[in-house]
Chains A and B, each alone.
Chain A
Amino acid sequence: MYYIISRRTIPSLFVPFAKIIEQPQAHLVLEVHLLWTVMTLSAEAPPKATHTPSLPPTHTVTLTVNGTETQLQLAPWTSLLDALREYMDLTGTKKGCDHGQCGACTVLVDGKRINACLTLAIMQEGKQITTIEGIAQTCTDAPDGLHPIQKAFIDYDAFQCGYCTPGQICSAVGLLNEGKAKTTADIRELMSGNICRCGAYTNIVQAIEEVINQQTV
Chain B
Amino acid sequence: MSQVIGKPINRVDGRDKVTGKAKYAAEFQVPGLAYGYVVSGTIAKGKITRIDTSEALSLDGVLQVFTHENRPRLAWFDISYKDQDAPPGSPFRPLQDATIKYSGQPIALVVAETFEVARYAASLIRVEYKEEPHETSLEANLHRARPQKHGVADLLKPPPPKPKGDFNTVYEESPVKMYGRYSHAAEHHNPMELFASTVVYEKGGKKPKLTIYDKTQGVTNSILYVSQVFDIPFKNIRVLSPYMGGGFGSGLRPQYQLFMAVMASLELKRSVRVTLTRQQMFTFGHRPATVQNVAISASADGAMNALYHDARGETSRFEDYTEIVTNWGGMLYPPENVTQDYKLVPLDVYTPLDMRAPGGVTGISALEIAVDELAYELGMDPLELRLKNYTDLDHNSQKPFSSKELRACFQQGAERFGWSKRQFEPRSMRKGHNLIGWGMATGIWEANQMPARAEAALLVNGKLWVSSATADIGTGTYTIMTQIAADALGVPMEDVLFKLGDSDFPVAPISGGSWTAATVGMAVHSACEAVGKSLLELAKKLAGSPFKGAKWEDIEFADRQLRLKREPTTAVSLQTLVDLNGGKAVRETSTGLPNALKQKDYARATHSAAFVEVMVDEDLGTVKVTRAVSAIAAGRILNPKTARSQILGGMVWGISKALHEESILDHNVGRFMNHNLAEYHVSVNADIHDLDVIFVEENDTIVNPLGIKGVGEIGIVAMPAAVANAIFHATGKRVRDLPITLDRLI
A-B contacts, 13 listed (Cβ < 8 Å): A39-B120, A91-B26, A95-B275, A102-B677, A154-B10, A161-B243, A161-B247, A161-B474, A163-B246, A166-B20, A198-B645, A199-B652, A202-B688
> How many chain-B residues does the 8 Å CB contact rule pick out?
85
Chain A 92-121, CB-CB to B under 8 Å as 1, else 0, gives: 111111110110100000000000000000
Give Cα A40–Cα B123 distance, bound, in whole angstroms: 8
- Provide the residues of chain B in CB contact with A96, threshold 8 Å: 192-194, 278, 677
* Interface of chain B residues 215 through 272 with chain A (CB within 8 A): 243-248
* Interface of chain A residues 24 through 71 with chain B (CB within 8 A): 39-40, 42-47, 50, 52-55
Give Cα A136–Cα B15 distance, bound, in whole angstroms: 12
- With known contacts A191-B685, A197-B190, A202–B691 Cβ distance under 8 A: yes
Asked if B89 lies at the interface with its beta carbon under 8 angstroms from chain A, I say: no
- With known contacts A12-B679, A91-B23, A166-B20, A157–B119 Cβ distance under 8 A: no
Give Cα A37–Cα B345 distance, bound, in whole angstroms: 35
Give Cα A183–Cα B56 distance, bound, in whole angstroms: 53
Known interface pairs A94-B245, A191-B685, A198-B192; 17 further A-B residue pairs with C-beta atoms within 8 A, sorted by A's residue number: A46-B125, A77-B116, A85-B27, A95-B194, A99-B676, A131-B20, A133-B20, A136-B19, A154-B14, A159-B474, A162-B18, A166-B18, A198-B645, A199-B651, A200-B648, A201-B684, A205-B685
User: B57-65, B380-388, B504-512, B630-638: which lies at the A interface?
Assistant: B57-65
* Interface of chain A residues 71 through 98 with chain B (CB within 8 A): 75, 77-78, 82, 85-86, 89-98
* A198: contacting residue among B26, B115, B246, CB under 8 A: B246
- Provide the residues of chain A in CB contact with B641, threshold 8 Å: 157
Asked if B409 lies at the interface with its beta carbon under 8 angstroms from chain A, I say: no
- With known contacts A96-B193, A132-B20, A160–B678 Cβ distance under 8 A: no
Point out which of B190, B651, B677 has the most chain A C-beta atoms below 10 A from its C-beta.
B677
Asked if B475 lies at the interface with its beta carbon under 8 angstroms from chain A, I say: yes
Chain A nearest CB, measured from B32 CB (Å): 14
- Provide the residues of chain B in CB contact with A12, threshold 8 Å: 676, 678-679
Give Cα A96–Cα B245 distance, bound, in whole angstroms: 10
- Provide the residues of chain A in CB contact with B18, threshold 8 Å: 132, 146, 150-151, 153-154, 159, 162, 165-166, 169
- Provide the residues of chain B in CB contact with A14, threshold 8 Å: 678
Asked if A11 lies at the interface with its beta carbon under 8 angstroms from chain B, I say: yes
Give Cα A93–Cα B690 distance, bound, in whole angstroms: 29
Asked if A204 lies at the interface with its beta carbon under 8 angstroms from chain B, I say: yes
Asked if A22 lies at the interface with its beta carbon under 8 angstroms from chain B, I say: no
Chain A residue at minimal CB-CB distance from B243: A162
* Interface of chain B residues 345 through 372 with chain A (CB within 8 A): none
- With known contacts A44-B40, A96-B278, A197-B190, A203–B678 Cβ distance under 8 A: no
Chain A 112-142, CB-CB to B under 8 Å as 1, else 0, gives: 0000000000000000000111001000000
Give Cα A68–Cα B707 distance, bound, in whole angstroms: 52
The reply to whether B279 and A40 form a contact with Cβ atoms under 8 Å apart is yes
Point out which of A11, A165, A204 has the most chain B C-beta atoms below 10 A from its C-beta.
A165
* B126: contacting residue among A15, A46, A192, A198, CB under 8 A: A46
- Provide the residues of chain B in CB contact with A92, threshold 8 Å: 19-21
* B116: contacting residue among A75, A146, A189, A191, CB under 8 A: A75
* A199: contacting residue among B55, B116, B650, CB under 8 A: B650
The reply to whether B55 and A53 form a contact with Cβ atoms under 8 Å apart is yes
Chain B nearest CB, measured from A73 CB (Å): 10
